[in-house]
Amino acid sequence: MRSVTEHQAAINALVTSRPETEARLAAAAGRPLARDVIATRALPGFENSAMDGYAVRVEDLAGATAEKPVTLPVAEDIPAGRTDGPPLAPRTAHRIMTGAAVPAGADAVVPVELTDAGTSTVAIRSCPTLGQHVRRAGEDISAGEVALRRGQVLGAPQLALLASLGYATAPVIPPIRTIVLSTGSELVAPGQPLRRGEIYESNGIMIATAVREAGGEAAQLRFVSDDPTEFLQTLRDRAPEADLIITSGGVSAGAYEVVKDSLTEHGIEFLKVAMQPGMPQGCGFFEGTPIVTLPGNPVSALVSFEVFIRPALRRAMALPAPERPRTTARLTEPVTSPRGKRQFRRGVLDRQTGTVKPIGPPASHHLRWLASANCLVDVDEDVTALRTGDTVTVWDLDSC
């Protein structure tokens, strides 16, 4: 049997990064930068007004007060976006709006609230200081500075900074494109009627969503029956569009194990990993495309995804924190664990008290408990019993 750590290494080696691409900003959201981005221009790009008001020369307003306002003729109106830049002559004012270029000759802006808001002449009740309410060119960033660092994930403010600098695209590490294929002759699409012996297919939506939550792309394929011809044909049709194939079901020790039966001769390795749940696993290359074959039981499938695929995907996409954050907590009840297997129990972690309550049985088909857990309780291979109050390692599934 292979250890969890050994199988993690095998999957890590399988999933490799795609070359960097130049992505349009909307498509770059959530991706890490492949290179440093240099500001090719300053921000602000030109001196502009921080207020709606009047562009003035400070010396023209010496002594202006509420009791003795200074009145100046208004020579020009400068809304944001006016590009001709009329200069300010001495002893005149230009009415100016927020974001409009401050005219040559002006050295301050008086907010409209400190004036009578006139349009042909303006009475100004206060003398500004030099540079008041003027945003200097380059005060945010100057040309030539590093705007964003390689590896930084592009979220809302980073994308806004790139757009402000005039970039329409960004160099990013692209997402890993996965195809998700469930197998099983008992499977029926949700929403359709069920006959005795049939169940609704749930691994497809689960694994595809988990891939997307990990920052990857997922195409959830229509599930296939336990028929090798249908299974192989679907893989052949869709593998060329994928960086990673993830299947579920058909890998254990029974008969009709479609994944194992069809892929063994393609060189894919099927093995047992010393863990519970999730013992039967497989991985390799299907006609050149990396493939990971998960067991079909829903809890086994998602726990295996968490333990093996999620960290490998995030690493290959250069995303931060490829591993879930781990913490320790005290058990609120005892647990038992099989000797020689690393056990991942579902749990509810209470961060306030530092305790964890294991929920649901260790069996691998209890989706309800999986859906109410916020952590995995990680019990070492050589531990067979833990008591209430014992300290355990937990994987925090709520944080990235």
The residues of the shown chain that bind ligand AMP, judged by CB under 6 A, are 182, 184, 186-187, 199, 201-204, 248-252, 295-298
Find the shortest distance in angstroms from Cβ 355 to ligand AMP.
32
Find the shortest distance in angstroms from Cβ 146 to ligand AMP.
47
Q: Is 215 in the site for Mg ion (CB under 5 A)?
A: no
CA 169 distance to own-chain centroid: 18
Q: Is 184 in the site for Mg ion (CB under 5 A)?
A: yes
Residue reference for tokens 């005219």 = 103
d(Cα 311, Cα 326) in Å, to the nearest integer? 13
Find the shortest distance in angstroms from Cβ 277 to ligand AMP.
11
Tokens of 296: 């079909």
Find the shortest distance in angstroms from Cβ 301 to ligand AMP.
7
d(Cα 246, Cα 206) in Å, to the nearest integer? 12
Partner touching 187 among Mg ion, ligand AMP, none, CB below 5 to 8 Å by kind = ligand AMP
Q: Which of residues 287-306 bind Mg ion (CB under 5 A)?
A: 296
Q: Is 249 in the site for Mg ion (CB under 5 A)?
A: yes
User: Dihedral of CA 22/25/26/30: which sign?
Assistant: positive
d(Cα 313, Cα 321) in Å, to the nearest integer? 11
Find the shortest distance in angstroms from Cβ 295 to ligand AMP.
5
Q: How many residues does the chain have?
A: 400
Partner touching 276 among ligand AMP, Mg ion, none, CB below 5 to 8 Å by kind = none
Q: Return the number of the residue (216 or 295) whose C-beta is nearest Mg ion.
A: 295
Q: Return the number of the residue (73 or 190) whose C-beta is nearest ligand AMP.
A: 190
Q: Return the number of the residue (184 or 280) whose C-beta is nearest Mg ion.
A: 184
Tokens of 122: 């303006």
Q: Return the number of the residue (215 or 249) whose C-beta is nearest Mg ion.
A: 249
Contacts of 16 (CB under 8 A, 6+ apart): 290, 316
Q: Phi and psi dihedrals of 124, rounded to 5?
A: -110, 130
Kind and range of the H or E run holding 27: helix 25-28
Q: Return the number of the residue (183 or 220) whose C-beta is nearest Mg ion.
A: 183
Partner touching 297 among Mg ion, ligand AMP, none, CB below 5 to 8 Å by kind = ligand AMP
The single-letter code of the amino acid at 126 is S
Q: Which of 314, 320, 329, 341 is nearest to 391 (CA)?
A: 329
Residue 118 per-residue DSSP state = -
Q: How many residues bind Mg ion (CB under 5 A)?
A: 4
Partner touching 347 among ligand AMP, Mg ion, none, CB below 5 to 8 Å by kind = none
Partner touching 76 among ligand AMP, Mg ion, none, CB below 5 to 8 Å by kind = none
- Interior angle at CA 339, CA 338 and CA 342, nearest 5: 70
Find the shortest distance in angstroms from Cβ 153 to ligand AMP.
32
Residue reference for tokens 């029974």 = 254
Please list the residues that pair with 22 across neighbouring strands. Answer: 171
Partner touching 201 among ligand AMP, Mg ion, none, CB below 5 to 8 Å by kind = ligand AMP
Residues interacting with Mg ion, by CB under 5 A? 184, 249-250, 296
